Structure 1
Amino acid sequence: MNKKTIKILKIILPLLLGFIFIWYSLQSATPEERRELLDNIINANPLWLILSLIFGTLSHMSRAYRWQYMLEPMGYKPRFANSFMAVMAGYLANFGIPRSGEVLRAATLSSYEKIPFEKAFGTIISERIADIVVMLAIMGFTLILQTEHLLTYFKTNQINPLITITILFLLLLAGVGGIWLIKRSNLPFLVKIRNLAQGLIEGMRSIFRMKQKWAFLFHTLFIWLMYLLMFYVISFSVPEMAPPGTGMMLAAFVVGSLAISATNGGIGVYPVAIGAILVLFGISKQSGEAFGWLTWGTQTLLVLVLGALSFILLPVFNRKNN
């Protein structure tokens, strides 16, 4: 199997999996259940959806600000507009090719702000590590509060989050080990890789050299607070879920976060996963999936609109300023 085929499969298979989940969810429901699901979505209070969009926008803006703090120690001060549009363009790219957004994001800033790609990409890796730490903290806290419900859900759906965490940790160790070996090699090809790796490492080290560490920490926590709030407020638009319990919403948030990694942007899988975990809390499957569709739909719409506008406005904005 050649590289082109593998690349195509990486795009098609997650999308196919998402559509299979959508088909299975609708096919297994009775006409009454499908009608109830549709009614929940149509009758959702738009006020809560708009509020969720605001929280989502604030989280993306905060991510752009945080990125600037990491680039500053290396002597780069990109314009906020470019940072923000690079972030949104990257999110949009992830819908087509999973994990391609980080590469596009670094390439965009490299192109418009003359920042070396490897250094910009290195800061993104550091960002992701910080985000993983916060996500693991949320997962740990949620497991303590809702151990029984989450373990039941993972067992029913044959999901082992420890495997995912272990794989990520092993990949991180392999990456560090690979860089260590490349650093000591004199082969021409590996020397080129070493030069690239040095730029990546410098970008990653910026997190320790930044002057505004507390501002970085604030934005990291703020980003995740906005994620939680944009998820939480939509529950008020589904009558059966209001008022939502904190433990229930944290459990749904964790399951939804894990589901997003299964397909391109969580299409299909996200609403089904949310509905499945909420059933354990006494919420009907239709109301749970309606909440999942509303959450996924609002944030997907936000990324599609802001991402598309970013692709259009980036060259216009930079042509005017240059």
Structure 2
Amino acid sequence: MRLSIKQWIQVVVSLAVAIWIFWFLYKDVKMESLLEALQQASLFWICMSIWISVLGFGLRSWRWKLLIDADLAEKLPTSRAFWGLMIGYLVNMLVPRAGEVARCGVLKKTDKLPVSKLLGTVILERSVDLLFMIGVIFLAFVLEREVFVGLAEDLISLDAIKTGFKEYMPLLVGGVALLVIVFYWVTSRYRDHGLVKKFHHFMRELIGGLKSVQRMKNRLGFWSASVGIWVIYFLMMYFIAMAMPSTANLSPSSVLMVMVMGSIGMVAPVQGGIGTFHALVAFILMTYGLTEEEGKIFAIIVHSSQVLIVLVAGVISLLVVAKISVTTKPQAGHLRNN
């Protein structure tokens, strides 16, 4: 993957921010405390967390494969989707959000599938994840309402939100309307230009990928996998909580709240949620009576276990993909003729 100078600057800046946040959080945490916590932790529960996480990546790969299969004459092997997915996660640790494009590029290389259509399936997949994340946040609000309301009052000023909404809404609406008008004018005036034609083709492929859920045969499997992915996210964190004496007594609803905060931290545009994940998880654990150091140690153990999986599986996936020849029988590379 080639990056422009501007993109490299963005990568360096985001990485520097992530490292600074991480350093600021952990500069006062002694290595002896971390090692002691690891010695006291249950290896069984940590291994269970890692195992269930790998299962989650496999389930996510299978769900993505179901979307891709909607437009293929022959089904894509789940292993191919898994290699692409793990390479994507590996790329995300260097360039935030670039992994979504990278995993599509992997399947273009191995199975000759169009990147634009694959991007449509990825966007659809992420949109579904966003809906489930909103649902999980709502569930956490119902189960941990007092904690949730307390956090909202401390971090969010409703009066400031209302004032900003009234002040900037006309500007936002006007800006969107202007962009729509300019876009329509450019595409109408230069409709026969090669670049515009390529853009139209890309958008058709993208929209086709987004609509793949309508053509998918195994819709029950897709939605069941979507639920299962979030259940696995919860179990992954719950098993780590069970492993450590400081968090072993947390209730399932408390761990759910921790998972919500961690998920929000992972959305931040920094490599692998470094720093933001740790900060939010440590912060919410302090509201449940843990010390600041205990919260930070829990966060780094959870995050490190995920990073370890991505590094190992990502490197293995790179090696496997490097050996796959695109000249072999492209089973999944033939699009279904509609």
Q: Structure 1 residue 270 and structure 2 residue 270: aligned?
A: no
Structure 1 CA distance, aligned partners of 2:95 and 2:68?
A: 26
- The offset of 1:28, in angstroms, is 4.5
Mapped contact 2:111–2:326 kept (Cα < 8 A): no
Pairing 1:102-181 to 2, within 5 Å after superposition: 102-153=100-151, 156=154, 181=184
Structure 1, gaps ≥5 residues long? none
Mapped contact 2:187–2:196 kept (Cα < 8 A): no
Count of aligned pairs:
306
- The offset of 1:234, in angstroms, is 0.4
Cα gap change, 1:47 to 1:90, in 2 (>3 Å): same
- The offset of 1:317, in angstroms, is 4.0
Structure 2, gaps ≥5 residues long? 166-171, 330-338
Please name the residue that 2:219 is paired with: 213
Cα gap change, 1:150 to 1:7, in 2 (>3 Å): farther
Pairing 1:233-244 to 2, within 5 Å after superposition: 233-244=239-250
RMSD: 2.9
Mapped contact 1:37–1:289 kept (Cα < 8 A): no
What's the TM-score once normalised by structure 2's chain length? 0.82
Please name the residue that 1:69 is paired with: 66
Please name the residue that 1:287 is paired with: 294
Q: Which protein is richer in helix relative to its size?
A: 1
Q: 1:307 aligns with which of 308, 311, 314?
A: 314
Structure 1 CA distance, aligned partners of 2:209 and 2:185?
A: 18
After the TM superposition, which of the residue ranges 263-272 and 102-111 deviates more from structure 2?
263-272
Please name the residue that 1:223 is paired with: 229
Structure 2 letter corresponding to 1:295 = V
Cα gap change, 1:276 to 1:56, in 2 (>3 Å): same
- The offset of 1:319, in angstroms, is 7.1
Structure 2 letter corresponding to 1:115 = L
Please name the residue that 1:10 is paired with: 10
Structure 2 CA distance, aligned partners of 1:41 and 1:159?
A: 39
Please name the residue that 2:41 is paired with: 44
Structure 1 letter corresponding to 2:241 = S
What's the TM-score once normalised by structure 1's chain length? 0.85
- Which structure has the larger Rg? 2
Mapped contact 1:21–1:268 kept (Cα < 8 A): yes
Mapped contact 2:87–2:317 kept (Cα < 8 A): yes
Cα gap change, 1:75 to 1:60, in 2 (>3 Å): same
Structure 1 CA distance, aligned partners of 2:90 and 2:24?
A: 26
Structure 1 letter corresponding to 2:17 = L
- The offset of 1:143, in angstroms, is 1.8
Cα gap change, 1:224 to 1:315, in 2 (>3 Å): same
Structure 2 CA distance, aligned partners of 1:321 and 1:294?
A: 42
- The offset of 1:102, in angstroms, is 0.6
- Identity score, percent: 26
Mapped contact 1:18–1:268 kept (Cα < 8 A): yes
Mapped contact 2:58–2:82 kept (Cα < 8 A): yes
Structure 2 letter corresponding to 1:225 = V
Cα gap change, 1:5 to 1:84, in 2 (>3 Å): same
Mapped contact 1:126–1:204 kept (Cα < 8 A): yes
Q: 2:196 aligns with which of 148, 169, 190?
A: 190
- The offset of 1:148, in angstroms, is 3.3
